[in-house]
Amino acid sequence: GTRLQRMSDRIDSLTSSAYQQALEVIASVEPRIAEATRQELDDQRSSLKLIASENYASPAVLLTMGTWFSDKYAEGTVGHRFYAGCQNVDTVEALAAEHARELFGAPYAYAQPHSGIDANLVAYWAILAHRVETPALAKLEAKNVNELSAAQWETLRNELGNQRLLGMSLDAGGHLTHGFRPNISGKMFHQQQYGTDPETGLLDYDALAAKAREFKPLILVAGYSAYPRRVDFAKMREIADEVGATLMVDMAHFAGLVAGKVFTGDEDPVPHAHVVTTTTHKSLRGPRGGLVLAQEDFAPEVDRGCPMVLGGPLSHVMAAKAVALAEARQPEFRAYAQQVADNAKSLADGFMSRGAKLVTDGTDNHLVLLDVSGFGLTGRQAESALLDAGVVTNRNSVPQDPNGAWYTSGIRLGTPALTTRGFGHDEFDRVAELIVHVLQNTQPGTTKAGGPSKASYTLGEGVADKVRDASAEMLDKHPLYPGIDLS
Ligand code: PLP
């Protein structure tokens, strides 16, 4: 009603003046940073943001990050800090953890990880400590590793460094931290990777179970960065239990769909996994950061994340996590999450009805993986041509990609950001149409030697302008941060 409208108008006007004044203060010290900040807003406002891992956090979340909580050291945990004067940080961290536990129905939450990768490192370390170190210490009747003799310590270190991890391969849609060899996770663990069925592009649980039986990992990692389908976490837990593995789920990409109850039952990782990690800035729409959720018995080891794995907590970001998680507990967030998934279907249908090929022939989460080889392009060429037309995506390998991880044959597109702006079915169908138009009008270039280039390309005359105009029409209808006026 009108009262709600008045309240929202007042928030808009406060937000506007907060940012006008903040930029003036920043400009008084380093005007180029104020200018870049202003420019970033203009750029985000005027482009079609389809990067599946990005979103637009609310002004309340953004404003929360810009405070004096940034000035405070707070190593340790709530009520148990290595620094004095942490009473307000305690309030903030306790609230962030409480919102996370309530929102996800998790017995325990840790709000300190600075990012998704950091959350995974904390989780790995906690699982190693829980499964290997703690039992070894108990057997030796030692309280901690400082009490071990040199020989005992050497034995334990060797054991910790020789554990097995089974995760989804990068080219099937897994993340670097799930055991990719060049990543720290691939070096700290004896790793193997599972993929997807070469025909269907779908997870093959029987093949995965067979691999797990043979390899007997300490940790089975589920979760993905570029897999366009839902995962059956009940089945994943069954496989983990059968081989004695700890199931860790990295829900960084789809945490918003879990929070918004689009993924429930077997598709909700929280009741099935021993440990769940996430970022807070993707579909969850919070500040850049991470979270670890866990079953109670892993809590003591996860709590030692900082300072044993992580640097000092970012209290200002934990405060913003608390605000974002409070938002995600509102009924509006469920509607948002459902719209994210519905829009991904509209986008997928928009591509397929125009003859474009998608990995797994569709989606049932927030992202689609478009195979651009049918347009005669590499992912790199497609990504660049689309960017010229104001469409921001990222190139991504497709399963068994002949062009490798650098040039790739795919484009990953996600709906969380534009759904926040208010895009619906018709707009996402139009987005698919515009993207197909760009790709149909992009020609691969040639190398200096005259061979086919994987990077250079030419975009047809006038295509970029036409697509930018069509996008502008939709973007103007759904303004980004309508409450912020910096003019
Ligand atoms: N885990 C998954 C599944 C991801 O997709 C990402 C994002 O790139 C990360 C972890 C890493 O998150 P961050 O960049 O916050 O460290």
The response to whether residue 279 sits with its C-beta less than 6 Å from ligand 1 reads yes
- Cβ-based neighbour number of residue 400 at 10 Å: 12
Instruction: Looking at the CA of residue 120, tell me the nearest atom of ligand 1.
Output: 10
Q: Is 285 left (phi over 0), alpha (psi -120 to 50) or beta?
A: left
- Residue of 118, 133, 171, 250 marked catalytic: 250
How far apart, in whole angstroms, are the C-alpha atoms of residue 449 and residue 271? 57
- Distance in Å, CA 157 to ligand 1 centroid: 28
- Is any atom of ligand 1 closer than 6 Å to the C-beta of 183? no
- Determine whether the shortest distance from the Cβ of 222 to ligand 1 is under 6 A: no
Helix axes of 233-243 and 205-215: crossing angle, nearest 10 degrees: 20
279 C-alpha to center of ligand 1: Å?
Answer: 6
User: Of the listed 37, 54, 72, 75, which one is catalytic?
Assistant: 75
Distance from C-alpha of 425 to C-alpha of 431, rounded to nearest angstrom:
10
- Could you tell me if the CB of 317 is within 6 A of ligand 1? no
State which ligand 1 atom lies nearest to the alpha carbon of 116: 12
Task: Supply the pLDDT for residue 1.
Answer: 64
Residue with the nearest Cα to atom 5 of ligand 1?
225
CA–centroid distance, residue 447 to ligand 1 (Å) = 34
Kindly name the residue from 38, 45, 230, 288 that is annotated as catalytic: 288
Task: For residue 420, indicate whether it is catalytic.
Answer: no
Which protein residue has the closest C-alpha to ligand 1 atom 11?
Answer: 116
Residues 6+ apart with CB under 8 A from 241: none
Cα 487 to ligand 1 centroid, rounded to whole Å: 35
Q: Taking the C-alpha atoms of 422, 424, 426 and 428 in order, what is their torsion angle to the nearest 10 degrees?
A: 90
Alpha-carbon span 91 to 78, nearest angstrom: 8
Is 282 near ligand 1, meaning CB less than 6 Å away?
Answer: no
CB of 253 shorter than 6 A to ligand 1: yes
The pLDDT tens digits of the residues spanning 397-448 come to 998 899 998 999 999 999 999 999 999 999 999 999 999 999 999 999 999 9
Q: What is the pLDDT of residue 8?
A: 87
Catalytic (active site) residue 282: yes
**Is the shortest distance between the CB of 269 and ligand 1 below 6 Å?**
no
Residues of the chain with pLDDT under 50: none
Can you give the length of the chain in residues? 487
- Per annotation, catalytic residue among 73, 90, 197, 345: 73
User: SS3 helix, strand, coil % of the chain, rounded to 5?
Assistant: 50, 15, 35
Instruction: State the SS3 of 6-47.
Output: HHHHHHHHHHHHHHHHHHHHHHCCCHHHHHHHHHHHHHHHCC
Choice from 112, 122, 169, 225 to test ligand 1 binding pocket (greatest atom count within 8 A of CB)? 225
Q: What is the number of other CB atoms lying within 10 angstroms of the CB of residue 23?
A: 18
Residue 304 corresponds to which tokens in the numbers above? 């030692």
**Which one, of 284, 353, 275, 294, lies nearest residue 325 by Cα?**
284
Residue closest by Cα to atom 13 of ligand 1: 116
